[in-house]
Every structure is written in C-alpha cells, then in structure tokens.
Structure 1
C-alpha cells in the first residue's frame, strides 16, 4: 500500500486566528509551510459559540493590522459568523496554504535525523518544525461534582446555542466569566428563571469617559503585562459586547431578575450547595473595576486629556438580597431547575504531540511560544508573551515573534548546508 507522503519546512496545526496569523508571517518571510485544519477555517467561531455571540472587543481593536472588518462600524461588536468570515477572507488575501478537513493524528521526533514525522488523516508529512496553533480551548471541562441525575439537562457552554434548546423550567448557570454572564443574561431576557453561580472574577468597565476598556488597557500598558498577578491564575473576566456593549454589573443583573449565588460547592441527592462567597466575589470585582477607573483618571490628569467626566460610573446599586442573605443550599426540584449550563472553561489536549515539550502537568513548557523541544512552537495560549496573547491582535504579534525565531533557526541550518 502506497502512503501519501509530503515534505515541508514548517507545519502549522490549526487554522483559527493563531494559525492564520502564523501563516501570514511565514509567507512574508518566504518560509515554506502548510496549515492543517480538521474542520473549516475559524470553525470554533461558527459551531463552538452560541448563536447570538458577538466579539467582546470593538471592531477597531479586535482584528489583524492588515485588514478591517468590512462594512462594520469601528466601535461595533462584530457577530461571530462575521468574525469567522473575516479570517477566511484574510487567509485568501495572501493565499494561505491551508488544507481543511485534515486531522493531525500524531507528531513524533525523528530518531537520528532532523525534524518530525506527522501522521494525518490524509497521509504522512515530514516537517522540520511544528507550530501548535490550536489555542487553549480543546476539551470542555465539566467538574466532577456534576450530578449524575439523568433527568437534569446538562451541557457545557460550548454546546449552548440558544434558549430554545433548553427544556421548560429554571436554569442554573455555573461560572460568571464572559460566557456564563452573557448566557445567563440571554436566558433571563428570554423569560427563563436563572440562577447564576458567581466565583472570583475581574470586572472591567465596558467603557469609561468616552473610551472602551480595551483602549484604557492599551494606553495604561496593561495589555503588555508579561505575567498574571499572583492568585489571579484562574480568575475570569466578566465583559461583554452584547447589546452594543455594556459593563457587566452583577447588582443590575439581580435587579433584572437573575438569582445570584456563590461558587457551586457540591450536589447531594436533590440539592446543590454554594459557598458563602458571593458578596466577597462581587466586592473584589468592584475593586478591580474601580482600580481601572482610578488609573484612567490619573492618566487623563497626567496627560491633560479633555475627556468628559463620568461620576455615575462610581455609583453602585444597593446590594441585593442575594448578597446580604446568600442562598447556601437549593433544592433543585423545588426551585424548578431542569437544566445546568457549565460555563467552567476548558482543558488542553496535546495527546497528538508526543514530544518533550511539556511540564509534569502536561502543560506546554515554553518561552514566548518557543518550547523546550527544539523545532516545536506554541501559539494562541493565555499569557504566551503578555496579557493580550489570546486576543486577535495579540496572537498576531506573538506569531510575528515566533516566525522570526523560525527564520533565525533556518539561517543557522542553511550555513554550509548544516
């Protein structure tokens, strides 16, 4: 049996925002490469998001430098399918060598020879370098505490699309980052009774004194922070571009009818218990919010900017009863809860990449995407080089750095045909 075999300098695995950015930079530097994608370009934006999702950042910011979103107001928040269309059009712009519908099954370093042998669903590829551009969202995580009750409809947020897919009854949304908050808000607007489990979070203002928060993070140098703050490794960000963009305000969500509870602790029989941390979590989020306002005010004063005052941004609603008298236990049947949506994040899965590039926990070991395994690179991971690494514009800049490192290594290897 003849095996289809291809040779290439650099193989990029994944054709989302990371893979397309990587391909652009390698194309500019004339590095022969191939991009493999098991689905379609930017597939996660199409089928791995709910129907009404829009980008969490404005169109002027959440894009690659080389192309704007066609037909979109720069201050608007682009719907998810248009984001996917953008990446397809961007790839076409420079004829990115993308092969879709091809799954990478394994990558192994060649023994006694340079490079890697890559087994795919479409044959074998010999590559000198591998760029894992698959991002951080590989396997949806549902915690082990999830009840085993078959009568409960349970899904991860990755499989939530719209309110109509849920059964009659109330919904418990576990997790109050961007996904959990936006889903809870949508369900509440659709007339569902919603319980939202709120853990530790950062809560930036959507905008302040006439500037979106992404602008404030930029001018304050916060996008370029090289490492997360100690203790904030698992803290989510509650921000939304839905409905034209508005600041996430948990007190306002409570006033609109959402039942707030603390972190989900355990399920026993027909009941669920929650930590008594709701008020502490919301207050910590408030402190994060206020700290950005303080930094913005100081920047305005320091630079003599003429931006409108916004004193109402510091005014909070009174604490709702859910904060002053928190619910610590809830009988699911008595509360009418028929569905649980787990907005509890993702785990990585690099089982296909059998090289020495990982730490004892199975996480990539790298510096700015250059791994400990020579010839293997990672792109699109949180804090790869800075706070902005997982954002569209941030991954583009990370890709440029990795492309430069690949060119440097090619130059060494080409010295007297080494």
Structure 2
C-alpha cells in the first residue's frame, strides 16, 4: 500500500514518459519538491500504442535523456519497441523519479495561490504545473468510418499490433505518414494484400553517400533550427514527419517499389458511400512531392559535402521505379475483397481537463519554448516545442531543462513573471 497523496507540491508534472521524467530530473537538480502523475504506466504510449515490429526511425545515438545516453552495442541501430520501454524505465529508476503511476489528472485550475490539481486519488495544490503529455491525446477517427459496411474490421493505427490481428482478406491502410507507411510495409512483408491511401507526407533517405541521412542532417545543424528561425515559423508544427524506417537495420520506404510488388496505391480518401470508397486525383502529385523532398535532402547533403571538401562515396538521387496509371476514383469494398481498414489518421489534442485560457485560436498551447502565457504553467515534450529534435529523445531533456530553469528562477525571485511574449 503506497503512501497517501500529499496535499501540496511545489510542482506537479503531468505525464510519465520521457518528457515528464526529464522534467523530474531537472527539478531534482534544482532541489524542487515535485510529483509526477502518470495515469497508466511509465512509457505507456511506447508500450501500448506501437505495433510488435515497431522500432525507432532515429538512430540510437540520438537517445540523449539527461545524463542517460544510449550505451548499448548498436549506437547506429534502431531500438525496437520493448527496448525503448526498457530504456525509459531504466531512466526513471536512475533518477528515482517520484512518480505516481495509475493516477489520472482530471482537472487543473487556478487556486488562491497557485493551481488546483484534481486527480483520481484526490486533489492537490501546486505552485507550478508542467504538462508533459505531448499533443497526441485522442485517436483521430474520421466521421466517414460510420459509412463503412458492417463486417469490415476497423482499427486505428494505435491499436494495430501485427498482421495476424486482422481477418483474412485485403487490408486498406488509410494514411501514409510514418505509422501508415510502416504498417503497410509490415503487412506487405507478411504477404498480406494491401491498399494504401497516400497523402502528402514527405519521405527521407535512410542512407546516403556512406552514412545515415540523420548523421548528415545533424552535422548540418538541421535538428538545432528553432521554430523562430524556420521559414514556416510556428506553422512547421503542423508538418507531417518524413517517412522511413529503422526496421532491419534501417532502410528507405519506397511506396513506388511496393506498388511494383503488388501493393495498390490510391489518392487521398475523400468519402465512403454505399460501400464504395471515393479517392482524389492526387496520387501522382503526392508521390512526386514526397520524392522531391527526398531528393532535396540528398541535394542538401551533396552541397554540404562539396562545401566542406568531405571525402564520401558518390550519391545517386532517386528515380521513380513505378508510375501510377489512370487514376482510380472509386472502389467497391466488397468487390475488392477488403476485409479490414487500418486508420492511420493521427491524433487530435484534448486539453479540456486544463481549465485555463492557455490555448491559441487553433487550440494549440500558446507558448514560447514551453513557457505558456499562464504564469506557472509549462508544456514540454511536444513536436517542435523549440527545435526539430524537441519531440524526440534527442532534445526533450534540453527543453525540460530550459522550462525547469525558468520555473526555478520564478520561484527564487518570489514573484510572478509577466506572460512570455509569443512569436508572431
């Protein structure tokens, strides 16, 4: 039986993944009393919302949690799901995080002196709150799922585990971001016939000119570009991630090659009616755009090699191995033999439990580098919180350090800071 919940903490951290644990590390470094609430278990998302063959798409050497870098035998490898969970759990043990697993935070509001935090084990007060729950809270299920005929199995990508989970027959994967492409590949490698709905996500080379492209991009400083320096500004936070994989030691994901091997590709899904799928006329355009990003990255690396006089093997830019024929605008689910659909349509945010006016007009936390416009409220662990590496093991610890340093300075000065000016 664990100790009862104290009634007050200097800081409440919500979320027991790598972001919340990194915040805990830095709070301990400052000697600040705190608690970490995790409604499930440490590393819950890695544990429960990833498929069996899942592995990192970034190399292990980028796993740089505070004072806890990857030290295994394969720094250029890609940890599979269970090793990722073990890495996060080991980090929690190493810092002796004051985590309360199985405690859900149900409401956060202002109190007389700080914050009121309601949980499944009772209420506490806090001087400051760090929200370390990313921005991916609820599976995004399109309304058109209601029009899918009965008898066809439908699951969200977060619930997909392996090909054997789905009934015999063809599988439709909707969405070609990282998860959709990797799940389509997982099914394809298991000789399951796949239809894939292709969106606008870009792709990236895995290896180019003798090295992992991530290593080249790191040398180029791409992971250090801040939101304020990026040409898109805060809009970059809405960009889809590039698709590639760390599976089997790492490789490209080439949807055209999959198509040449029998996978059926479609343009964007625009509707479902009377058992028929309706597609947009954008398949060729989406494939071309993804390849253009791929070759653009190759070109960026080429220029870096030339400018620095680096000795490296010659590189070859991608040339399409397959071209789509006449666009298919409609497909009958029954006639096509599609027995299941995997909706790889991402997630949406749900901040309804935070009873504070900290969101912008789009429903995204208004913040600068994790410091929100609500004094004492912080966010960490979100994609592009500050840099491209913010949502990854690479930079989440540094982001947490900045947030906690700001918080510690606020407590030391004994005064409330004015809201941080938001970037335009």
The residue number in structure 2 matching 1:262 is 267
Query: How far 1:211 sits from its partner (Å)?
Result: 1.9
Write the mapping of 1:107-122 to structure 2, written as runs, cut at 5 A: 107-110=108-111, 113-122=112-121
Which stretch of structure 1 is more off in the superposition, 235-244 or 154-163?
235-244
The residue number in structure 2 matching 1:55 is 56
Contact 1:145 1:267 in 2 (8 A): yes
* Secondary structure in 1 matching 2:60: coil
1:331-357, CA deviations, whole angstroms, 9 ceiling, x for partnerless residues? 111110011101010011112111121
Write the mapping of 1:7-406 to structure 2, written as runs, cut at 5 A: 7-64=8-65, 66-110=67-111, 113-146=112-145, 147-227=147-227, 230=232, 233-311=238-316, 314-320=317-323, 323-406=324-407
* Secondary structure in 2 matching 1:129: strand
Contact 2:25 2:66 in 1 (8 A): no
Q: Distance in 2 between matches of 1:213 and 1:122?
A: 47
RMSD, matched Cα: 1.8
TM-score scaled by length of structure 1: 0.93
* Secondary structure in 1 matching 2:173: strand
Query: How far 1:414 sits from its partner (Å)?
Result: 7.3
Contact 1:200 1:285 in 2 (8 A): yes
1:25-73, CA deviations, whole angstroms, 9 ceiling, x for partnerless residues? 1111212111110111101111111111011111111332522435441
Contact 2:10 2:127 in 1 (8 A): yes
Q: Distance in 2 between matches of 1:72 and 1:53?
A: 19
1:143-194, CA deviations, whole angstroms, 9 ceiling, x for partnerless residues? 1122242211111100101111101110110000110011011111112110
* Secondary structure in 2 matching 1:377: strand
Which stretch of structure 1 is more off in the superposition, 332-341 or 249-258?
249-258
Q: Distance in 2 between matches of 1:397 and 1:175?
A: 32
Q: Distance in 2 between matches of 1:136 and 1:414?
A: 30
* Secondary structure in 2 matching 1:54: coil
Query: How far 1:213 sits from its partner (Å)?
Result: 2.1
In structure 2, relative to structure 1, the CA distance for the partners of 1:234 and 1:94 (3 Å cut) is closer
The residue number in structure 1 matching 2:422 is none
The residue number in structure 1 matching 2:419 is none
1:91-113, CA deviations, whole angstroms, 9 ceiling, x for partnerless residues? 11121111111111111101xx2
In structure 2, relative to structure 1, the CA distance for the partners of 1:375 and 1:254 (3 Å cut) is same
* Secondary structure in 1 matching 2:272: strand
* Secondary structure in 1 matching 2:358: coil
* Secondary structure in 1 matching 2:407: helix
Q: Distance in 2 between matches of 1:166 and 1:352?
A: 34
1:201-239, CA deviations, whole angstroms, 9 ceiling, x for partnerless residues? 111111211221222222222212323654763434212
* Secondary structure in 2 matching 1:300: helix
Q: Distance in 2 between matches of 1:269 and 1:72?
A: 54
Q: Distance in 2 between matches of 1:102 and 1:140?
A: 21
